[in-house]
Structure formats: structure tokens, C-alpha cells
């Protein structure tokens, strides 16, 4: 973890205040004065400010049910950040592991543990994500088997050189499906259905890895130890 971030996690200081302390030479790591805020520190390092040892608070791991017209960002834009819904200290020190568009609802995982979130979003991890998709056009019984196979084999998305990785399509009704993907390309679900001549009119993420959404719209909860460890 960066030293300035460690100081913020251990105190009520802002990032700019932590950097000011570092510049003034008031921070020591293992009895050595450190002024570089990007210095990496670990749990077994002794970090002191003006002689007082610091202990970083435990990392936080949160599930939230994202509403529409909110964004997965730490900064408000046209729509407000979903972090406004999470009533914890320093909520805006958290970040979202795997973003959703403003018009998409469903499961988002929120944390201040960068290594943990990397295991979710890294393309090399192939973390499965399950979406419930509402479609404009009817999927006929005659076409369903062919469509399932096309998603399984990979689709050619506009502007992409390679096919998508195999995806699992489960048809719930003539206009609603469950789709499981292990990638996170830009607007991937919408582009996949565009590639087969359909259009997404509603999108909801239900599951990431083994973590299944189980809170109401706009609500959140801390993850259990088992849920956290599933991405360690």
C-alpha cells in the first residue's frame, strides 16, 4: 500500500494532509524518515508520525444493489456517485470493483483493498459475472439453440479483432435471458446482443464469482469472511 494511503487509513487526515506531513519529514518507516508518498509499506512495517505508531484500519468489503441513474465513480458527473448511498466513514476512499453503466442496475462490489479488487477485474482472472438481460426482439424457440451455441463459441464484436470468450446463455422467456461472461469489454453485453441482431432494453447484474446479490435496490451490506476470501 502507498504510504500516503496508509496514513489516511490510520488517521482522519486527507491525502493532501498526509503528503504535507511527509514533506515536512514527520513520518518514519522502520525508524527511517520517508518523504515519498508513493513508498510502498506492508503490514509488518512500523510507521510513525511524530513518534506515534499508526495502525491502518481493516479493509472494507461491501456489496451494493446499484440503482439506475447513478454512476460507478468517486466523482459526481451528470448522475451522482453510488458511494452516496453507502453510509460509512470516508466512503469516498472506497472504489468500485467492476463498474456498471448509469442505466444498469445490480451487484457492485466496493472496497478499499486494491489487491482484492484486482482479482475481480483483472482480465487474467476470468471472473464470471451473471447478467439478467431484457431484450427488444423475441427469441423464437426455433432460434434459441442456435443462439446459445453462438454465444458459447464466441461473437465478433464491432471494432474487435478477436471473438469474445465463450459465454453461457440461458433463455428465461422470449425476451429475457441470463448471460454469464468472464470478460469486461466496454459495453460488452449490449454489443454482444447487437452482434446477433437484437437490442438490450434492460440490464441487471445478479452475480460476480460466487457472490450473489441479496439486498434491496439502493441497499448495501458488508461481505462475509467467506465471500471476501472467495477472491483472495
Delimit the domains of the chain by residue range. Answer: 3-53, 61-123+213-229, 128-208
Q: Which CATH number fits domain 61-123+213-229: 3.30.70.580, 3.10.129.10, 3.20.20.80, 3.40.50.720?
A: 3.30.70.580
Instruction: Tell me the pTM.
Output: 0.86
Quick one: pLDDT at residue 76?
A: 93
Q: Which of 75, 79, 78, 54 is nearest to 66 (CA)?
A: 79
> Using alpha carbons only, how large is the chain's radius of gyration in Å?
22
Backbone angles phi, psi at 115, to 5 degrees: -65, -40
Quick one: pLDDT at residue 177?
A: 98
CB 177 within 8 A of CB 135: yes
CATH number for the segment(s) 128-208: 3.30.70.1560
Overall fold of domain 3-53: 3.10.290
Greatest CA separation for the chain: 74
For residue 101, indicate whether it is catalytic. Answer: yes
Spacing of C-alpha 135 from chain mean position: 25
Q: What is the pLDDT of residues 106-119, one digit of tens each?
A: 999 999 998 899 99
Q: Residues near 86 by Cβ (< 8 Å), separated by ≥ 6?
A: 62, 64, 94, 110, 220
Other C-beta atoms closer than 10 Å to the C-beta of 173 total 10
Domains 3-53 and 128-208 share a fold: no
Q: Residues near 64 by Cβ (< 8 Å), separated by ≥ 6?
A: 82, 85, 86, 107, 108, 109, 110, 215, 219, 220
Q: What is the pLDDT of residues 126-147, one digit of tens each?
A: 999 999 999 999 999 999 999 9
Please pick, among 31, 76, 89, 101, the residue that the annotation labels catalytic. Answer: 101
10-residue averages of pLDDT along the chain (232 residues): 88 89 93 93 88 88 98 94 92 92 97 92 94 97 95 95 96 97 94 97 98 98 97 90
Quick one: pLDDT at residue 71?
A: 96
Quick one: pLDDT at residue 42?
A: 84
Amino acid at each position: 500500500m502507498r504510504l500516503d494511503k496508509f496514513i489516511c487509513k490510520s488517521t482522519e487526515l486527507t491525502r493532501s494532509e498526509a503528503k504535507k506531513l511527509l514533506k515536512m519529514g514527520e513520518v518514519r518507516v522502520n525508524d527511517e524518515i520517508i518523504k515519498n508518498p508513493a513508498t510502498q509499506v506492508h503490514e509488518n512495517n512500523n510507521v510513525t508520525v511524530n513518534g506515534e505508531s499508526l495502525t491502518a484500519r481493516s479493509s472494507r468489503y461491501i456489496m451494493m444493489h446499484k440503482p439506475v441513474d447513478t454512476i460507478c465513480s468517486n466523482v459526481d458527473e451528470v448522475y451522482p456517485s453510488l458511494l452516496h448511498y453507502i453510509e460509512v466513514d470516508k466512503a469516498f476512499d472506497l472504489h468500485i470493483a467492476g463498474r456498471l453503466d448509469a442505466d444498469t442496475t445490480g451487484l457492485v462490489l466496493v472496497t478499499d483493498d486494491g489487491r482484492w479488487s484486482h482479482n475481480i477485474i483483472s482480465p487474467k482472472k476470468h471472473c464470471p459475472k451473471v447478467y439478467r438481460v431484457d431484450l427488444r426482439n423475441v427469441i423464437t424457440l426455433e432460434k434459441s439453440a442456435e443462439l446459445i451455441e453462438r454465444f458459447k463459441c464466441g461473437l465478433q464484436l464491432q471494432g474487435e479483432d478477436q471473438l469474445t470468450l465463450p459465454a453461457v446463455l440461458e433463455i428465461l422467456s422470449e425476451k429475457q435471458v441470463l448471460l454469464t461472461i468472464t470478460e469486461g469489454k466496454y459495453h460488452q453485453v449490449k454489443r454482444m446482443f447487437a452482434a446477433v441482431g437484437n437490442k438490450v432494453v434492460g440490464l441487471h447484474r445478479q452475480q460476480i464469482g460466487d457472490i450473489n446479490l441479496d439486498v434491496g435496490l439502493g441497499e448495501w451490506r458488508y461481505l462475509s469472511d467467506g465471500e471476501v476470501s472467495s477472491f483472495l
